[in-house]
């Protein structure tokens, strides 16, 4: 099993450009998450999904959109990138069931917005 | 909402000693706390979970305690090794679906 994979690993954007980050998991997990991690801020939840076709806002959703058309994929979109979105983005998934289930994280995408 | 606080200062210890990391929470007592390890350039990896009604949990050289009176969880690594050097994150489930993470504590174990 590959676990949780993220594409791309690195990306540099100019202000105003758009892009989509792809997260894929092969563990048949119901729940998927997008976090961003900034120095001194820790991991902050952007959006999450509790099943195919569902999405919900997290702590810092502004400037991002998400879609979960297939159970195994969770896409994070930036419609008009801003320098404040420079960050490392992590995707995670976990199985359905108790909220205490551990989350499985991908390797991250390092995004720089100039 | 719940706030998870971890010591932002890095912890430097000598190989073979016990490392102790602290996680404090501010509001209601969480039903459980999770601990993750994160290496530079990688995603967090789950280590241990401790429930509110468990005072202590062990896994090999790792031990986690939960003190609801002090609103605190302690994470111990005994007989520490340089390979234990990493950032350790504490988290709880705020909404029931997503994890609420502390900022993490960096541990450096020197030979």
Q: What are the tokens at A110?
A: 């390092």
Nearest C-alpha of chain A: how many angstroms from B104? Answer: 7
Chain B residues with CB-CB distance to A66 below 8 A:
none
What was the pLDDT predicted at A99?
A: 65
Tens digit of each residue's pLDDT (9 = 90 or more) over B82-99: 999 999 999 987 665 788
What was the pLDDT predicted at B94?
A: 65
Are A31 and A49 spatial neighbours (Cβ–Cβ below 8 Å)? yes
How far is it, in rounded angstroms, from Cα B9 to Cα B73?
17
pLDDT tens, chain A, 114 aa long: 889 999 999 999 999 999 999 999 999 999 999 999 998 888 999 999 999 999 999 999 999 999 999 999 999 999 999 999 999 999 999 998 776 789 999 999 999 999
Average pLDDT over every residue of B73-84: 97
Chain A residues with CB-CB distance to B87 below 8 A:
none
Are B106 and B21 spatial neighbours (Cβ–Cβ below 8 Å)? no
What was the pLDDT predicted at B19?
A: 97
């Amino acid at each position: 099993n590959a676990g949780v994979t993220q594409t791309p690993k690195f990306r540099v954007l100019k202000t105003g450009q758009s892009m989509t980050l792809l997260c894929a998991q092969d563990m048949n997990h119901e729940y998927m998450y997008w976090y961003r991690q900034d120095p001194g801020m820790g991991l902050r939840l952007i959006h999450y999904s509790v099943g195919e076709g569902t999405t919900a806002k997290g702590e810092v959703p502004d400037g991002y959109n998400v879609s979960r058309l297939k159970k195994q994929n969770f896409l994070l979109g930036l419609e008009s990138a801003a320098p404040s979105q420079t960050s490392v983005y992590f995707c995670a998934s976990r199985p359905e069931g108790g909220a205490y289930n551990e989350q499985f994280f991908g390797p991250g995408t390092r995004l720089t917005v100039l | 909402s719940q706030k998870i606080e971890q010591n932002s200062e890095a912890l430097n210890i000598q190989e073979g000693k016990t490392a102790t990391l602290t996680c404090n929470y501010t509001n209601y007592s969480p039903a459980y706390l999770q601990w993750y390890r994160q290496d530079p350039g990688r995603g967090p990896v789950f280590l241990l979970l401790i429930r509110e009604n468990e005072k202590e949990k062990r896994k090999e050289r790792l031990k986690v305690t939960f003190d609801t009176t002090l609103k605190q969880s302690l994470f111990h690594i005994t007989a520490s090794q340089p390979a234990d050097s990493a950032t350790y994150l504490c988290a709880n489930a705020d909404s029931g679906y997503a994890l609420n993470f502390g900022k993490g504590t960096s541990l450096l174990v020197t030979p």
